[in-house]
């Protein structure tokens, strides 16, 4: 009997973490745009946010951090009728969707929806590859990890340049 109890105790040590709540498996995809230009205003980024928790930890907050030359101006979401309650907060280049009703969270495991963040792109943004960093915070139930992070890639294009021809150069003289 003593050996059986010892075996069950050791087995419980390994089985419990498999059932611990965590946020692993979630992701964020950038749907659009793939390219923005310095000086663009009112650009709406569309993301699909998915909570892939292998158990029942819910997403409580979703945070997007754009390059420092961006200014976040607005945010909204489409939960497909699931009744999420997020409050949107813009602070410089960061847009945060925060749990608005104080419950367990908003996006339950195995579900997702669309998030929209509107930004102004600063005229001094350097052209080239860029990233939006994201974070999903869980409801801090069970074992870690209680948040997951990642990045979505996009491109900052160059500034528009008026094409020059020989006749336009000649007209300058």
Task: Answer yes or no: is pLDDT of 14 > 50.
Answer: no
101, HSE (Cβ side, Cα atoms, 13 Å): 10
- Give domain status of residue 172, yes or no: no
- Give the pLDDT score at 158: 84
- Give domain status of residue 163, yes or no: no
DSSP string, 52-117: --SSSPPEEEEEEE--TTEEEEEEEEE-TTS---EEEEEETTEEEEEESS-SS-SB-TTEEEEEEE
Which residues, listed in sequence order, are joined to residue 94 by a DSSP beta bridge? 65, 91
Q: How many domains does the chain have?
A: 1
Mean pLDDT over the full length of the chain: 83
What CATH number corresponds to the domain at position 76?
2.60.40.740
**Cβ neighbour number for residue 171 with a 10 Å cutoff:** 8
- Give domain status of residue 91, yes or no: yes
- Give domain status of residue 166, yes or no: no
- Give domain status of residue 114, yes or no: yes
| Residue located via tokens 């200014």 | 71
- Give the pLDDT score at 19: 34
Task: Specify the DSSP element, H or E, that contains 10.
Answer: helix 2-19
Task: Answer yes or no: is pLDDT of 130 > 80.
Answer: yes
Model confidence band, residue 53 (pLDDT cutoffs 50, 70, 90):
confident
Q: What is the 3-state secondary structure (H, E, C) of 108-157?
A: CCCEEEEEEEEEEECCCCCCEEEEEEEEEEECCCCCCCCEEEEEEEEEEC
- Structure pTM? 0.79
- Give domain status of residue 28, yes or no: yes
Distance CA 72, CA 96 (A): 10
Model confidence band, residue 2 (pLDDT cutoffs 50, 70, 90):
very low
- Give domain status of residue 123, yes or no: yes
The tens digit of pLDDT for each residue in 144-163 reads: 678 899 999 999 998 644 44
- Give the pLDDT score at 142: 64
Which domain does 53 fall in, by range?
20-158
Distance CA 77, CA 85 (A): 10
Q: Strand 147-156 and strand 35-36: pairing?
A: parallel
């Amino acid at each position: 009997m003593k050996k059986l109890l010892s075996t069950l105790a050791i087995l419980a040590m390994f089985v419990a973490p498999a059932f611990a709540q965590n946020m692993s498996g979630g992701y964020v995809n950038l749907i659009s745009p793939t390219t923005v230009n310095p000086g663009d205003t009112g650009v709406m980024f569309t993301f699909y946010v998915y909570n892939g928790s292998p158990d029942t930890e819910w997403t409580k907050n979703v945070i997007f951090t754009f390059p420092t030359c961006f200014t976040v101006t607005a945010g909204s979401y489409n939960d497909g009728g699931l009744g999420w309650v997020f409050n949107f907060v813009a602070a410089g280049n960061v847009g945060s969707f925060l749990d608005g009703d104080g419950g367990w969270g908003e996006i339950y495991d195995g579900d997702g929806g669309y998030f929209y963040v509107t930004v102004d792109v600063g005229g001094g943004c350097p052209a080239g590859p860029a990233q939006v960093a994201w974070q999903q915070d869980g409801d801090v139930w069970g074992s870690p990890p209680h948040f997951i992070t990642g990045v979505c890639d996009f491109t900052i294009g160059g500034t528009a340049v008026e094409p020059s021809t020989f006749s336009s150069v000649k007209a300058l003289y």
